[in-house]
Structure 1
Amino acid sequence: MKRIPTHSENHMKKILLLILVSVTLSQCQKFAFWQNESKEDTSGAVVTFLQGQVTILNEGKERFASLGDLVKPGDRILSKLGKVDLQTYRGEIIRIKENSDVLFRDFAGSSKPNTDIYIWAGNLLVKSVKLKANETLSISSPTMVAGVRGTVFSFELEKGSVPKVKVYEGAVAVAFKTGPKLIELNDGLSQDHYDQLVKTLEENEVVLEPGESLEVNPSLNELVYLINAKMTASSLTKDELAGFSDISTGISKAESPITPQEKAEAETLVAVNPELVQKQVENNGASSEVTQEIVENIEKEHESKRNTALSNIASDAEKMGLDNEEEIQKHYSVLETIHKSNGEILSGAVVAQLGDIFIVHSTKGVMQLKVDEIEYVEYRNFKVQTKTKK
């Protein structure tokens, strides 16, 4: 029996359709994403937390990110070993993790309803605000677009792989980012394959809910990538299209329980007073004295809130009463050996880490350790060095 979509799913589909139209129009700008017809002074985000080195590119110019920096539409962020948290004027919090390449096509402001993020590679953790009917938050990759309605979720993309989306709170609608009209320009597909591809692309859209993740047909994902990358340049050949016969399935969702580590990291995605961010965006560097005061307040408030979050994570871990390796490994799905700088060795699991603080659940109890107190963390097959040995 065919399942009838719920009201919530129908609503998400309408939102996703609006986002897909917006993304398609933005692609027509041929990557000149900063060339907006109308300027929005309050369209932007502020760096509220920074770990390691992160680069911001704006119209070909590079600079290293620093706390309190403004990120505007058209800015691109590159992180290698760095990590950065942004808070938008509207209140979204976006964590860009290591080895990411992210472009901010647009930001919502006081009179702009859309935040539009494009990810070439990397890993994002996003906490959205509750959006109004006319507001959107979308994250797209070369092959997919995710539309968000007040949620916490991750979007991960490794080069040469399929996008990975997982929802912790709320709901995310995900669909392939292409359309039949693009394909009609090319005769490389047979009529049967063309009809099947169009049908699959039109029908494949899923709404992910908490504890669910995205599953993608790699073959169809690769085909969509080729279409999006080459069709506009009319360079897609019949040979490239040949062999893509496995297009009957596209995207689906699977159960993906939220791990204690994922839950803990989501809790560290803390917000500072929205007025601080809004004031910094509106100031736009006009007054260095105002900027300095705002940055100091952002740093102080974020540190206080993330320390509170880490303390709460440690407290929750203590309440579980796990005190042996078997129980710890079962709960966290990992067992690690933490080598401290003083020579002490702990057996357990790293629950969370932000800034220079690690939360470690060991057989000797739950501890908050500074990075300088840890020599390295040893896993079953590899080691993570936290500092250089002398």
Structure 2
Amino acid sequence: MKTSITLITIFLISLQCSRFQFGSSQEKDEKAGAVVTFLQGTILITNQGKESKAKIGDVVRPGDRIITKLGRVDLQTYRGEVIRIKDNSDVLFRDIAGESRPNTDIHLWAGNLLVKSVKLKSGQNLSVTSPTMVAGVRGTVFSFELEKGSVPKVKVYEGAVSVAFKTSPKLIELNEGLSKENYNRLVKTLEENDVVLEPGEKLEVNPNLNELVYLINAKVAAGSLKGDELSGFIDFDNGLSKTTSVVTPQEKAEAETLVAIPAETVKKQIELQNAGTGEVATQEIEKAHEEKRAEVLNQIAAEAAKTGLDDEEEIHNHYSVLETIHKSNGDVLSGAVVAQLGDIFIVHSTKGVFQLSVDDIEYVEYRNFKVQTRSKK
């Protein structure tokens, strides 16, 4: 006998709306935007259906989409957040903070983000979402990764991030599928799984529950959810949890390379773009970012040198990797690539710590594969 159950799917999106303020004010704000401060490779920006190649100084607006393939791009918002979109990513900027718009809402369809927030005031929010997850932050550095066919990965380097499932707030009429007991377990699991991640912690997601949330979101949007489609999902007891995940020296170094340029320069560029020009500020952006990243790379190299490691085993234990760096002049270094930003590599080897340009390196040899940095002549 089929039991009719009314499922009020208020799940976590309803609870999170007040916290992260989704669907923020869409009032006109000419200052709302993020400026491209650094990029590598080919980056595509879609604005109002028109696609173009990104360049330094471009302003990304609410509603714009960025796709990276073999490339990455750093952006800085009017408010000061710095966002790195890594290779093979597809990102939609649902909202970007400005002078009067209080929220930045970044939706990741696929790929990997590294985000450095600023200290937010009351009523201001920064959120990163995927089809099934929402992460809300305040003054933090964290990564958010989503591979197709997988569950989101969130890791915190500084500050704290609140992560929750994102589900539809609509009512669903089910005539079959979940028993009342399983439905109550599902609601309880979703409502109670608001995980706060702190430095050195990463998110663990129940794949079964993640799949169910995705199904609910997709089917409800299409108006085609049926009760029997939920019948196979019974593992509701564990939704979100966290586990210790040490921040590696390489991760720490990469977070440090996410540099911010003077806020005045970003604001000036947005204003110039609004006026139809931006060449002068673009030059300022390039210079400011170059100076900042040179400073940071010097600091990373100095910190690596302070460890005093000069033995292969010590270097391997510290960085959890051992690589062979083949230089263009024929020299060979044994050690680890600590960081890379642009054309500069920081290499910690048994012979010391070096800053090498991409032209200095023929290739880097790992345990079972090679990464070619430039074509052999």
* Structure 1 position 184 matched with structure 2 position 183: no
Q: Which has the higher contact order (CA 8 A, sep 6+)?
A: 2
Cα-to-partner distance string for 1:26-73 (whole Å, 9 max, x where unaligned): 8xxxxxxxxx85211110010000111100011211000000000000
- Contact 1:16 1:147 survives alignment (8 Å): no
Aligned partner (choices 271, 292, 306) of residue 293 of structure 2: 306
Look up the match of 2:42. Answer: 53
* Structure 1 position 75 matched with structure 2 position 64: yes
Look up the match of 1:204. Answer: 193
What is the alpha-carbon distance in structure 2 between the residues aligned to residue 353 and residue 15 of structure 1?
Answer: 40
Distance 1:183 1:323, change over 3 A: farther
- Contact 2:30 2:274 survives alignment (8 Å): no
Cα-to-partner distance string for 1:178-204 (whole Å, 9 max, x where unaligned): 15x546334432222211111110001
What's the CA shift for 1:229? 1.2
* Structure 1 position 345 matched with structure 2 position 335: no
Q: What code does the residue aligned with 2:358 have? A: V
Gaps of 5+ in 2: 1-12
Look up the match of 1:4. Answer: none
* Structure 1 position 194 matched with structure 2 position 194: no
What is the alpha-carbon distance in structure 1 between the residues aligned to residue 303 and residue 220 of structure 2?
Answer: 52
Identity score, percent = 68
* Structure 1 position 379 matched with structure 2 position 366: yes
What is the alpha-carbon distance in structure 2 between the residues aligned to residue 183 and residue 162 of structure 1?
Answer: 25
- Contact 2:26 2:101 survives alignment (8 Å): no
Look up the match of 1:144. Answer: 133
Cα-to-partner distance string for 1:252-300 (whole Å, 9 max, x where unaligned): 1111111000110111111111001011112224243xx1110001100
Q: What code does the residue aligned with 1:54 have? A: I
Q: What code does the residue aligned with 1:260 have? A: P
What is the alpha-carbon distance in structure 1 between the residues aligned to residue 341 and residue 35 of structure 2?
Answer: 18
Look up the match of 1:18. Answer: 18
Distance 1:186 1:378, change over 3 A: farther
Distance 1:265 1:15, change over 3 A: farther
Q: What code does the residue aligned with 1:219 have? A: N
The TM-score normalised by the length of structure 1 is 0.90
Task: List structure 1 segments (4+ residues) > 4 angstroms apart after TM superposition.
Answer: 13-17
- Contact 2:110 2:148 survives alignment (8 Å): yes
- Contact 1:166 1:208 survives alignment (8 Å): yes
What is the alpha-carbon distance in structure 1 between the residues aligned to residue 262 and residue 14 of structure 2?
Answer: 32
What's the CA shift for 1:17? 4.7
What is the alpha-carbon distance in structure 2 between the residues aligned to residue 81 and residue 325 of structure 1?
Answer: 31
Distance 1:257 1:319, change over 3 A: same
- Contact 2:163 2:194 survives alignment (8 Å): yes
Q: What code does the residue aligned with 1:272 have? A: I
Cα-to-partner distance string for 1:148-193 (whole Å, 9 max, x where unaligned): 01001111111111101111111100000015x5463344322222
Aligned partner (choices 261, 275, 293) of residue 280 of structure 2: 293
- Contact 1:16 1:146 survives alignment (8 Å): no
What is the alpha-carbon distance in structure 2 between the residues aligned to residue 212 and residue 14 of structure 1?
Answer: 26
What is the alpha-carbon distance in structure 2 between the residues aligned to residue 57 and residue 301 of structure 1?
Answer: 26
What is the alpha-carbon distance in structure 1 between the residues aligned to residue 15 and residue 117 of structure 2?
Answer: 15
What is the alpha-carbon distance in structure 2 between the residues aligned to residue 353 and residue 132 of structure 1?
Answer: 33
3-state SS, counterpart of residue 304 of structure 2: helix
What's the CA shift for 1:373? 1.1
Cα-to-partner distance string for 1:334-369 (whole Å, 9 max, x where unaligned): 111111112211110000000000000011110000
Q: What code does the residue aligned with 2:267 have? A: Q
Gaps of 5+ in 1: 1-12, 27-35
What is the alpha-carbon distance in structure 1 between the residues aligned to residue 311 and residue 40 of structure 2?
Answer: 33
Alignment size in residue pairs: 364
- Contact 2:85 2:113 survives alignment (8 Å): yes
Q: What code does the residue aligned with 1:316 have? A: E
